[in-house]
Structure formats: C-alpha cells, structure tokens
Amino acid sequence: MNHIYSGLTDKSRFALTDFNCASFSERLGKGNNYKIIWARQGNITIGIDGYQIIVKKNHVLLCSPLNILDIEPHTEGAISFIFSKEFYNLWDYTGKLSFQDYLFQGALILPLVRLNEADTQNFELLFKLFKKEFERKDRFQGEMLMVLLKKLLIMFKRMVNNRCENDEIPNRASTVIGEFSYLVETHFRNKHQVTDYAELLHKSPKTISSIIKKHTKKTALSFINERILIEARRLLLFSDKTSEEIAYNLGYSEPGNFSKFFKKNVGTSPTQFRKRVFTPVT
C-alpha cells in the first residue's frame, strides 16, 4: 500500500503507506517530512538516529523531519502517515505556536505513544477514512486529507493532555514544558544555556528549572545537553563532516570545547566514537 497526495508544489506532500516493499526509503520520503508510524499488527523494530528501538503493537512513534529512520525492507504490520511541513502549516493564524509543534519533540514529550482500546478503534476508523479519501480524485481531496490529519493530531493532543492529567501536571506547567521543548528543538544549535530559553519564555531561569525538575525528574540543562548530543551522534554517524565542522554546526566557537562536552557526556571523544562505531570487530 502506498498512497501519495501532492499539492500545488512538489513540497506539499502527504502519504499513507506501509513498509511491505523492497525500498523503505521510497516510503519514508525525503525532505522535511513528519512521520507517524503505527505498529498496527505486531511489534516492529526501527532504527532511529543510530539506535534500535522496538515499537510494540498498537504503539505509535512520532518523528520530526530531523529524525533519521531505518526500517528493514518488507517490514509487515506497520502503517505510516507522512506529511511535509508545506502540507501542514504548523503555525496558527495568530502566528503563535500550535500544539502540533510540541507533539513531535522528543526531548520532553516522549514521541512513543501507547494506544488504549478506544484509541485503537479511533485509529482504525481514521485509517479507513484516509484510505477511502485516497480513492477519490477530485479537487477537494487535499482539503479532506488536511481535515483528517488535523483530527489525527488532535487525538494525539488529547492523549498527551490525559497523560499530563494522570501525572498530575498542572496546565501551566504543561504549557511551560511544551514551549521549552519546542524552543530547545528550534535553537539548540546556538543556545546552550537555560538563561537563553528563560529570556525567550519571559520567565526566570529558576522558574523554568523548578517546573521541569519537578515534573520530569530531569534538569532543564540536561534536556538541552541531550538534544545537542542527539544531533552530534547523528552527524557523526550519518554525515562525513569532521568533528570540527560538527562543533561549529552545533554552535561551539572552539572545537575543543565541543570535544570536552561530548567526552564528558558520552565517555569518548567524537573522533573515537565514530571510529568505534565503524570499526569492524575481529
């Protein structure tokens, strides 16, 4: 199964697909695509940013355009909703951040969502509606796919809200956590300190640190550092950039400072990390 809708430009794209094919890269697509991968029929193994994870049956993985995925060809039982930034505008008409921005940020809001029985039934219904819409070929198809996608994302927003309520996270704290997560995702390459984000959020660093520590059991700085490390590992594994180039890409004016930061958190230097990963074991 591989249904693709293209809008007025090649960049405006939405796809409903499985991975039961020889070339999964064609299914995942290239460019700035968001991906919602649903393990519909059983557990599936996915490589994400160099790590292997198991997505259990009736769990959904939310991936941003930055995530590099690797799925074995002919993987059965998975369904993916893939859409470009151009297909779905993530900003509302006021210019403020909308909740969709927060759903795909994995630093504070886990991108792996478990579907309960009711969620699964709703997913199945939406899946059938998506398939039916792809059978129609008229000028309203794009609008209808947009409506269905919005419905899908609203479902996830409700799941996140319910989880926050179950964890007894107040709405105010949930908002701060979501906004902080989005800002880290947007600015981690050039803003490395909690004070940088406090300024953007118009709150004191102490307030932000206190809220995040209380409700996530991690410090605000650790989330910033983790996001930098995710990108550093991704570039070391999937690009031919030197460690110095990666350092500059991540906002370090001195490559030596990046190397010290990486070694402190990973236990090895960037060069040793890359060499260790790609050196065959004999």
pLDDT tens-digit profile of 20-46? 776 666 666 666 788 899 999 889 888
Residue 259 has pLDDT above 70, yes or no: yes
Q: What is the pLDDT of residue 97?
A: 42
pLDDT band at 248 (very low <50, low <70, confident <90, very high): very high
Pull the structure tokens for residue 127. Answer: 């899946």
Q: How far is CA 254 from the centre of its chain?
A: 29
User: For residues 122 and 274, what is the distance between their CA atoms, to the nearest angstrom?
Assistant: 43
pLDDT digits (tens, 9 = 90+) for 56-83: 999 988 887 777 787 887 888 888 898 8
List, as own/partner pairs, every contact residues 28-31 make where C-beta atoms lie below 8 angstroms and the sequence separation is at least 24, other chains included: 28/69, 28/71, 28/80, 28/82, 29/82, 29/84, 31/65, 31/84
Residue 94 has pLDDT above 50, yes or no: no
Instruction: Considering only residues 118 and 50, tell me which one the structure prediction assigns the higher pLDDT.
Output: 118
Q: What is the pLDDT of residue 154?
A: 84
- Please classify residue 201 by burial: count the beta carbons closer than 10 Å to its beta carbon, then call 0-12 exposed, 13-18 middle and 19+ buried: middle
Residue 91 has pLDDT above 80, yes or no: no
For the chain, the residue count is: 282
- For the ranges 108-117, 208-217, 227-236, 254-263, the maximum mean pLDDT occurs at 254-263
Average pLDDT value for the chain: 81
Which amino acid is residue 123, in one-letter code? F
pLDDT band at 10 (very low <50, low <70, confident <90, very high): low
The predicted model gives 205-226 an average pLDDT of 88
Residue 168 has pLDDT above 60, yes or no: no
Pull the structure tokens for residue 78. Answer: 């998975």
Instruction: Considering only residues 95 and 160, tell me which one the structure prediction assigns the higher pLDDT.
Output: 160
User: For residues 146 and 254, what is the distance between their CA atoms, to the nearest angstrom?
Assistant: 45
Report which secondary-structure segment, H or E, holds 107.
none
The predicted model gives 199-219 an average pLDDT of 88
The predicted model gives 152-178 an average pLDDT of 69
217 DSSP assignment: S
Does the pTM exceed 0.85? Answer: no
* Residue spans of alpha helices (H) in 87-219: 99-103, 117-134, 141-166, 171-187, 194-201, 205-216
Q: What is the pLDDT of residue 68?
A: 76
Q: What is the pLDDT of residue 171?
A: 61
User: For residues 200 and 198, what is the distance between their CA atoms, to the nearest angstrom?
Assistant: 5
Residue 258 has pLDDT above 90, yes or no: yes
- Please classify residue 228 by burial: count the beta carbons closer than 10 Å to its beta carbon, then call 0-12 exposed, 13-18 middle and 19+ buried: buried
Residue 263 has pLDDT above 90, yes or no: yes
pLDDT band at 181 (very low <50, low <70, confident <90, very high): confident
Q: To the nearest whole percent, how much of the chain has pLDDT over 70?
A: 79
Residues 61/1, Cβ–Cβ less than 8 Å: no
The predicted model gives 244-258 an average pLDDT of 94
